[in-house]
Structure 1
Amino acid sequence: MHLHQPIPGDRLANSETGIQEILRYHLVRVNLVPGVRHVIGWRGLQNAAHNSDAWTARIDGYPGVFGLFFDQMEPHSSGIAGRFGLNYFPHPEESCVESLCVQAGMLTQQPDYYPRIRDFLSHPSMIELFNIAGMILSVNRAPDGMQLMLTSNTRQRVIAIDGIFVEHEGQRIQLVRPGDNDQNFPAFDTALDFFTVLATSMAFNLSQAPTSMVCQYRPGTVKAYDAGGQIKVWASDTIQEKRLILTYGNVGEADLPSVASDTAGWQDDRSLATLLADAPWLTAHQLRDCKSLDKSQLGIDERPQLIVVTGFLGAGKTSFLQHFIEHQTRNNRFVAVIQNEIGAVGLDGRVLDHDYAVVEIDEGCICCTLVGNVKKALGQIMSDFHPDYIVLETTGLANPFNLLDELAEVEEIVRFDSVTTLVDGLNLAPTLESSSIAHDQIRAADIILLNKKDQLTAGQIEESKTRIARINPDALVFTTSHGDINPALIYNADPLPVAAGAKSKPVVGKHATHRHEQIDTHTITFSHPLAMKHLTAALDQVPKTIFRIKGIVNLVGEATPRLVQYVAGRYALSEFNSANTDDRYLVFIGQRIDPLALERLFDLPV
Structure 2
Amino acid sequence: MKDVYLLSGFLGSGKTSLLSHLIEQMKEKGLKPAVIMNELGKLPFDSRSVDEDVPIKEMLEGCICCTGSEKMEAQLQMLLEGEVFDVLLIETTGAAHPVEAMDAVLSPYFANRLNMKGIITVADSKRWLERDKMTPQTRMLFMEQIKHAHLILANKIDLLSEDEVATVTMQIQGFNRHAPIIQTSNAKLPLNMITGLEATYHGQEVKQAAIGKQLTLSSRLHTFSEPVEKEVFEQWVKELPDTVYRMKGYVPLVGYKNPFLFQYAYGMVQWLPEYIKMEPQIVIIGDQVEAITVIGNTPND
The verdict on a shared fold, with TM-score over 0.5 as the criterion, is: yes
Q: Measure how far apart 1:439 and its partner are.
A: 1.1
Matched, 1:412 2:112: yes
Cα displacement string for residues 152-194 of structure 1 (whole angstroms, at most 9, x for unaligned residues): xxxxxxxxxxxxxxxxxxxxxxxxxxxxxxxxxxxxxxxxxxx
Identity %: 26
**SS of alignment partner, residue 44 of structure 2:** coil
- Distance in 2 (CA, whole Å) between partners of 1:369 and 1:431 is 29
Partner of residue 90 from structure 2, selected from 382, 392, 407: 392
What is residue 424 of structure 1 aligned with on the other side?
A: 124
Cα displacement string for residues 337-378 of structure 1 (whole angstroms, at most 9, x for unaligned residues): 000100222211113344211101001111254122222111
Conserved? CA contact 2:120–2:153, under 8 Å:
yes
- Name the CA shift for 1:334/1:472 in 2 (closer, same or farther; >3 Å): same
The amino acid of 1:429's aligned partner reads L
Q: Measure how far apart 1:440 and its partner are.
A: 0.9
Matches within 5 A, 1:239-258: none
What is residue 245 of structure 2 aligned with on the other side?
A: 507
- Distance in 2 (CA, whole Å) between partners of 1:440 and 1:314 is 16
Conserved? CA contact 2:65–2:103, under 8 Å:
no
The amino acid of 1:337's aligned partner reads V
- Name the CA shift for 1:442/1:304 in 2 (closer, same or farther; >3 Å): same
Cα displacement string for residues 43-65 of structure 1 (whole angstroms, at most 9, x for unaligned residues): xxxxxxxxxxxxxxxxxxxxxxx
Computed over aligned residues only, the root mean square deviation of the Cα atoms, in angstroms, reads 2.3
Matches within 5 A, 1:100-115: none
Conserved? CA contact 1:416–1:498, under 8 Å:
no
The amino acid of 1:420's aligned partner reads I
What is residue 367 of structure 1 aligned with on the other side?
A: 65
- Distance in 1 (CA, whole Å) between partners of 2:243 and 2:168 is 21
Q: TM-score, normalised by structure 1?
A: 0.33
Cα displacement string for residues 58-103 of structure 1 (whole angstroms, at most 9, x for unaligned residues): xxxxxxxxxxxxxxxxxxxxxxxxxxxxxxxxxxxxxxxxxxxxxx
After the TM superposition, which parts of structure 1 deviate over 6 Å for at least 4 consecutive aligned residues? none
What is residue 224 of structure 2 aligned with on the other side?
A: none
Partner of residue 9 from structure 2, selected from 311, 314, 333: 311
The amino acid of 2:162's aligned partner reads A
Matches within 5 A, 1:451-462: 451-462=155-166
The amino acid of 1:376's aligned partner reads A
Partner of residue 479 from structure 1, selected from 170, 174, 183: 183
Partner of residue 381 from structure 1, selected from 79, 98, 115: 79
Matches within 5 A, 1:22-37: none
Which stretches in structure 2 are left out of the alignment for 5+ residues? Answer: 203-215, 220-241, 247-264, 268-301
Matches within 5 A, 1:134-145: none
Matches within 5 A, 1:512-527: none
Cα displacement string for residues 457-516 of structure 1 (whole angstroms, at most 9, x for unaligned residues): 11111211222123211111101110112111x2222633158743796625449xxxxx
- Name the CA shift for 1:463/1:369 in 2 (closer, same or farther; >3 Å): farther
Q: Measure how far apart 1:400 and its partner are.
A: 1.1
What is residue 551 of structure 1 aligned with on the other side?
A: none
What is residue 27 of structure 2 aligned with on the other side?
A: 329
- Distance in 2 (CA, whole Å) between partners of 1:340 and 1:314 is 14
Partner of residue 491 from structure 1, selected from 177, 194, 199: 194
What is residue 153 of structure 2 aligned with on the other side?
A: 449
Matches within 5 A, 1:10-409: 303-409=1-107
The higher relative CO (CA closer than 8 Å, separation ≥ 6) is in: 2
- Name the CA shift for 1:386/1:495 in 2 (closer, same or farther; >3 Å): farther
Conserved? CA contact 2:150–2:199, under 8 Å:
no
- Distance in 2 (CA, whole Å) between partners of 1:398 and 1:389 is 22
Which stretches in structure 1 are left out of the alignment for 5+ residues? Answer: 1-302, 512-606
- Largest Rg, 1 or 2: 1
- Distance in 1 (CA, whole Å) between partners of 2:4 and 2:102 is 12
Conserved? CA contact 1:368–1:399, under 8 Å:
no
- Distance in 2 (CA, whole Å) between partners of 1:356 and 1:498 is 29
**SS of alignment partner, residue 492 of structure 1:** coil
Q: TM-score, normalised by structure 2?
A: 0.64
Conserved? CA contact 1:407–1:498, under 8 Å:
no
**SS of alignment partner, residue 371 of structure 1:** helix
Matched, 1:438 2:142: yes
- Distance in 2 (CA, whole Å) between partners of 1:315 and 1:505 is 27
Conserved? CA contact 1:451–1:480, under 8 Å:
yes
Higher strand share: 1
The amino acid of 1:477's aligned partner reads I
- Name the CA shift for 1:498/1:336 in 2 (closer, same or farther; >3 Å): farther
